[in-house]
Structure 1
Amino acid sequence: MKRADKDMKLSARTITRRGLIVGGLQLGVLGALAVRMRELQVKEAEQYKFLAEENRINIRLLPPARGLIYDRDGVLLAGNAPNYRVVIVREDAGDVDAVLRTLTDIVPLPEEDLARARREMGRRSPFVPVTISDRLTWEQFSEISINAPALPGIVTEVGLSRYYPLDQDFAHSIGYVGPVSDFDLERLNDDDPLLQIPRFQIGKTGVEAKFEQALRGSAGSSQIEVNAAGRVMRELRRDEGQPGANLQLTLDHALQNYTEARLAGESAAVVVMDIEDGDIRAIASAPSFDPNKFVRGISSADYRALLEDEYRPLADKTVQGTYPPGSTFKMLTALAALEAGVIDPGERVWCPGHYKLGTRRFHCWKRGGHGWMNLVDSLRESCDVYYYDISQKVGVDKIAEMARRFGLGTRFDVPMSAVAEGLMPNRAWKAANRGEAWQVGDTLNASIGQGFVLASPLQLAVMTARLATGREIMPRLIRAVNDRPVARPDPAPLGIRRAHLEVIQRALYEVTNLRSGTAYGSRIAESTYRLAGKTGTSQVRNITVEERARGVFRNEDLPWNRRDHALFVGYAPFDAPRYAVSVVVEHGGGGSKAAAPIARDVLLQALYGGLPPLSAYPAHQRNMIDERQRALELRPRQEPEQGRSRA
């Protein structure tokens, strides 16, 4: 009995110790949990609150409004229009195919849109919204919105899409936007998250591309509250971001429209510059195209038609196209010889119709020759032999140097696509690029703007403005950014002797105002607006000895793509120069016939600020001019947007 009591007391002590140990362990665990709970609820409360918010709040990027583009008077050239679209978030949709089937039962959508959306979803993260279809009608947009509860992961959105109200008039200068592509992402090397938004529009060509960063703006954000099923409940916060900058161009929409209309049916380019400040008033390449088709997504048939058109509507001939300037170059050869002191303006050269160099003959355009020619005569009647002769005295290097002073061989900094440098060759250029020595015949060809010499219509307009003023006029296309005028430095003198420049100017006046001048038929009759200019014709094929022997084919008798290019450069008024113009008509034949009339009409439009009176034209041409002007498909002058400033 005593043994049993003793055992019981020992057992009780053992149990008590174990209980204390277990209790201590429990208290330790509870203490640790309390400490951890305190850390979670106090120290780390903000972090877990944020994580909880992440589970019920979606943050979405908001594309900013793209900056607007205006003409010099505040007329809208590139704007934004509402775009109704439907997007899908794969993570919220679940069975994507089932959701898309339900969607198309509600609103039929193009199969190509659905296929493109599936490809996009395969390339992007599941939480990134993918556009299924855009440019929905209001009825389609409403139907989808009403049926939203049956469409998990489907979201309707109202965005902005670019549109060009004056369509073809500014297709080459302003360019167009389009959906960002993988190629664009590689090319731009830009980490802006906006570029990850499916079908986000960026500038592809022209001003739209060159000012992409400024026009794009910066992204906004939207915090959306969703329920457990992922359905959007409400918008908690919205930051619209920063809209893109507005641009004001130097272009005049009415003059641009007239120029495009005047070039109808031609493959041609025209550039009109304000001589005072270098502002480009019109820069037209024909034929043009509708940039709105590229914004919406051009069809294969339409794009193929543009590519296969032999007039090359997609090419911007004003800055991308380079052409032998032909006789419009002769003023620079003459100035080089005058400045070098190797000729006198009154010195005469005999033109028998050709210039003999060894056993080879370099022909003048006038087969029978011009007879005795001095400098003014040679420009007025465009004698080639005169320039063959003086080029041997001055040499190609000084001719090239003079040409560069007047803008040839220069890539001007204008915000347009693929601006060409052109080519003003010299001895060093041929050795470096052809591995050959310069030949005397090369100098003869260069002296009349043939051979290796190439210039764009923009360069020829700059050359003409500098000839009219003797100053280093620079072309300008952007007038203001967000209503802040772009600075324009005063042009420096070219350093050409005034007497030499006046000789050239007098000759250009006689080209259009004397009966023997090559552009007399395109003169301006109004005495206060007299035109000075120079015609040019540049060959695109070699004329063989056999062809000369039997008589050179007329341009009209040749296939279109073998005819000569027609050129004209000029400025007006002669006494107080205001505007310079250059015209190139591809395969137009002679400059006096095809290019000079266009230049005269466009300059008169600029000078009068609209259609000029018939009294500005020679009397015998007025009926013909009246009929032609009436036949032009002109757009009515647009009114500037209310409140727009004119920088």
Structure 2
Amino acid sequence: MRRPPKDTLESNRIVTRRALVMGAAQLGLMGALGLRMQSMQIEHADEFRLLAEENRINVRLLPPDRGLIFDINGVPLAVNEQNYRIVMVREDAGDIEEVLGRLTKLVDLPDEVVARAIEEINRRSPFVPVTIVDRVSWEDIAKVTVNAPALPGIIADVGLSRHYPQGADTAHVVGYVGPVSDYDLSRIDDQDPLLQIPKFQIGKTGVENKLEQTLRGSAGTRRIEVNALGRVMRELDRIEGQSGADVQLTLDMKLQSYVEARLEGESAAAVVMDLENGDLRAIGSAPTFDPNLFVRGISVADWRGLNEDIYRPLSAKSVQGTYPPGSTFKMITALAALEAGVLTPEETIYCRGFTEVSGTRFHCWRSSGHGNVNLHESLKQSCDCYYYELGLRTGIENIAAMARKMGLGLRHDIPMSAVASGLAPDRVWKREVRGEEWRIGDTVNASIGQGYVLASPLQLAVMTARLATGRSITPRLVHSINGIEQPSGAGESMDVNENFLRRIRQSMFDVNNHSRGTAYGSRIVVDEARMAGKTGTSQVRRITPEERARGVTSNSDLPWERRDHALWVNFAPFDNPRYAVAVIVEHGGGGSTAAAPIGRDITLQALYDGEPPLSAYPSNVRGRIAEQQERIRNRVVAGQTTNTRA
């Protein structure tokens, strides 16, 4: 059916009107879009350009300042210094080899440095900054900064690096830091994200290692906006980390430097202990090394030189080294015998130069013997046969128990690397460790500090401190942490007869101050500083019957490594003890000639808090001492102790 013409005309008018409305709406929409595009392209161009360039927010860790280390007087032992470095973030860099190639045109980088950097970058998470090179000059930093747009992912950074201003003098005590290694990560259960930062420095040895958690601090964070090229556009916010705690040690740097200088030329160790509180005023080990070499990255040649040196400069002999204590152990055997009731101080024992036990001869150091000797004379003249007899009477169990009571055979808790336990052997130990039964000859050897008995210089200092005071003094190396003083090591009175201790002390006094004492030549002649001590000489080789028959070879005629160890312990002043000292000179020969003079000099330095007057020395050695003082004075003042390797 056909529509009427009138209806068709009306329908066309309606369509035309709708088309016009829709067209107008479309034009309006297009106009609005055009205005919006104009606004985006012109008025907000910078803002949207950043968005178009794929800006993103990065969160980066801020390593905290490592805590500082000081001596008892506030002298800095470990500090932080500024260090300019160049780092790369892989996810911002794109083609890392191309970017590093551009970098090498600006900064002189050896091929091996670039190769190591690429290996490290590929091993790490893409967002972790990897140090390409550190300790660069300000000029190099400026070049990198100016050329930043052409170096995506490269950041010129400034951080802190560890420095040891006292150098070799504190190397074995303070230790050193170094970059976190895969080995470090495998052996420590520490989830701190700081450890994932390549070349982040942690303590490797000494106090730096043992107090790592205390010194490290906690990380801060930095939120930054970067563009697709890795260029930092702005810092959004920053939360600073918490610095590590400052640590004050008990060391007296002036005395520590003197000890290291006095040990120069020897393979030796010495410990000085304050008898009031157990504070360790000096812990010396020779030869030593410069710890700053390890912070900067030690060369292969330097490492080989240190590692292959027969005098073992990397070893802290004062706490790690254990040695047969020799005759310095005789006070332990004497006290054990007195406490067990098998000896009276005045009882004499005859020495004919040897003691025969089960068909074996055990010789005294004096082949002709000492004749009849009591406790006092046995210590003064260091008669071996007297102590052989005491050992047989007393038994190894009583001797070992007394040794432990006096601080031997125990690991003392100080924050240094590989602190040794030493050994106070008994029947149970030999059965469990060596699978053998204890023999009577073992007791004879142990009675004079030979055989299985082992002690470190630190333990011998503790033993001497307990003999001098009658208290269970323990060594303390950390005086305070962030100003909070740590527990004292003064100790309580021990369950040892004071009468017997007085007898031992008086005998030790005559070792040093009687003309027939073994250390008379190393005495102190001023009354207010007189000391009491004991020499020790421990064998490191077996003397055969054939050698004894033809005459024992003197130490001076033997190769260095076959000579006896020389030992010395003392406390001073005798009437009011303030310090205990222990000295070991590896393969030094006799304790009276090699170790006692060092102990005497260190003791005087501690008592006078500096260089003592020549009048404190015997008149016959004052000329030599004056020359020695001058040599050490110049070295210590200049801060150039040469007692180093590498």
Same fold (TM over 0.5): yes
In the aligned structure 1, how far is the partner of 2:333 from the partner of 2:55?
76
Aligned partner letter, 1:635: V
Q: Deviations over 1:589-620 (max 9, x none)?
A: 00000000000000100010111110110111
Aligned ranges 1:82-97 → 2 under 5 Å = 82-97=82-97
Secondary structure, in 3 states, of the residue corresponding to 2:347? coil
Alignment-derived partner of residue 35 in structure 2: none
Residue 193 of structure 2 is aligned to residue 182 of structure 1: no
Aligned partner letter, 1:66: R
Shift in CA distance, 229/574, structure 1 to aligned 2, threshold 3 Å = same
Worse overlay, 109-118 or 177-186: 109-118
Contact 1:252 1:282 in 2 (8 A): yes
In the aligned structure 2, how far is the partner of 1:528 from the partner of 1:127?
67
Contact 1:422 1:456 in 2 (8 A): yes
Alignment-derived partner of residue 602 in structure 1: 602
- State the identity %: 63
Contact 2:278 2:490 in 1 (8 A): no
In the aligned structure 1, how far is the partner of 2:322 from the partner of 2:139?
50
Alignment-derived partner of residue 38 in structure 2: none
Residue 641 of structure 2 is aligned to residue 635 of structure 1: no
In the aligned structure 2, how far is the partner of 1:121 from the partner of 1:275?
54
Contact 2:474 2:489 in 1 (8 A): no
Aligned partner letter, 1:383: C
In the aligned structure 1, how far is the partner of 2:435 from the partner of 2:134?
56
Contact 2:279 2:489 in 1 (8 A): no
Superposition TM-score, scaled by structure 2 size: 0.90
In the aligned structure 1, how far is the partner of 2:281 from the partner of 2:638?
15
Q: How many Å apart are 1:224 and its aligned residue?
A: 1.5
In the aligned structure 1, how far is the partner of 2:64 from the partner of 2:218?
6
Q: How many Å apart are 1:634 and its aligned residue?
A: 3.0
In the aligned structure 2, how far is the partner of 1:115 from the partner of 1:53?
31
Alignment-derived partner of residue 575 in structure 2: 575
Secondary structure, in 3 states, of the residue corresponding to 1:400? helix
Secondary structure, in 3 states, of the residue corresponding to 2:350? strand
Contact 1:254 1:637 in 2 (8 A): no
Contact 2:475 2:489 in 1 (8 A): no
Shift in CA distance, 594/54, structure 1 to aligned 2, threshold 3 Å = farther
Contact 1:524 1:600 in 2 (8 A): yes
Alignment-derived partner of residue 29 in structure 1: none
Q: Deviations over 1:310-365 (max 9, x none)?
A: 00001111111100000000000000010111111000011111001132110000
Aligned ranges 1:58-207 → 2 under 5 Å = 58-207=58-207
In the aligned structure 1, how far is the partner of 2:122 from the partner of 2:207?
34
Worse overlay, 220-229 or 497-506: 220-229
In the aligned structure 2, how far is the partner of 1:487 from the partner of 1:550?
57
Q: How many Å apart are 1:622 and its aligned residue?
A: 0.4
- 4+ aligned runs moved over 4 Å, structure 1: 51-55
* Unaligned residue ranges in structure 2 (runs of 5+): 12-50, 640-646
In the aligned structure 1, how far is the partner of 2:475 from the partner of 2:63?
34
In the aligned structure 2, how far is the partner of 1:570 from the partner of 1:562?
26
Q: How many Å apart are 1:98 and its aligned residue?
A: 1.6
Q: How many Å apart are 1:52 and its aligned residue?
A: 12
Contact 1:180 1:200 in 2 (8 A): yes
Between the two proteins, the alignment pairs up a number of residues equal to 597
* Unaligned residue ranges in structure 1 (runs of 5+): 13-50, 639-647
Q: How many Å apart are 1:629 and its aligned residue?
A: 1.5
Give me the CA root mean square deviation.
1.9
Aligned ranges 1:453-532 → 2 under 5 Å = 453-488=453-488, 490-532=490-532
Secondary structure, in 3 states, of the residue corresponding to 2:234? strand
Secondary structure, in 3 states, of the residue corresponding to 2:570? strand
Alignment-derived partner of residue 535 in structure 1: 535
Alignment-derived partner of residue 250 in structure 2: 250
In the aligned structure 1, how far is the partner of 2:222 from the partner of 2:552?
73
Q: How many Å apart are 1:268 and its aligned residue?
A: 0.5
Alignment-derived partner of residue 435 in structure 1: 435
Contact 1:258 1:634 in 2 (8 A): no
Residue 628 of structure 2 is aligned to residue 613 of structure 1: no
Shift in CA distance, 489/627, structure 1 to aligned 2, threshold 3 Å = closer
In the aligned structure 2, how far is the partner of 1:541 from the partner of 1:53?
77
Aligned partner letter, 1:140: D
Contact 2:528 2:573 in 1 (8 A): yes
Secondary structure, in 3 states, of the residue corresponding to 2:566? strand
Worse overlay, 236-245 or 270-279: 236-245
Q: How many Å apart are 1:219 and its aligned residue?
A: 0.3
Q: How many Å apart are 1:637 and its aligned residue?
A: 9.2
Aligned ranges 1:331-410 → 2 under 5 Å = 331-410=331-410
Q: Deviations over 1:264-302 (max 9, x none)?
A: 010011000001100000001110000000001100100
Superposition TM-score, scaled by structure 1 size: 0.90
Alignment-derived partner of residue 284 in structure 1: 284
In the aligned structure 2, how far is the partner of 1:592 from the partner of 1:53?
80
In the aligned structure 2, how far is the partner of 1:53 from the partner of 1:479?
56
Q: How many Å apart are 1:53 and its aligned residue?
A: 13
Secondary structure, in 3 states, of the residue corresponding to 1:243? coil
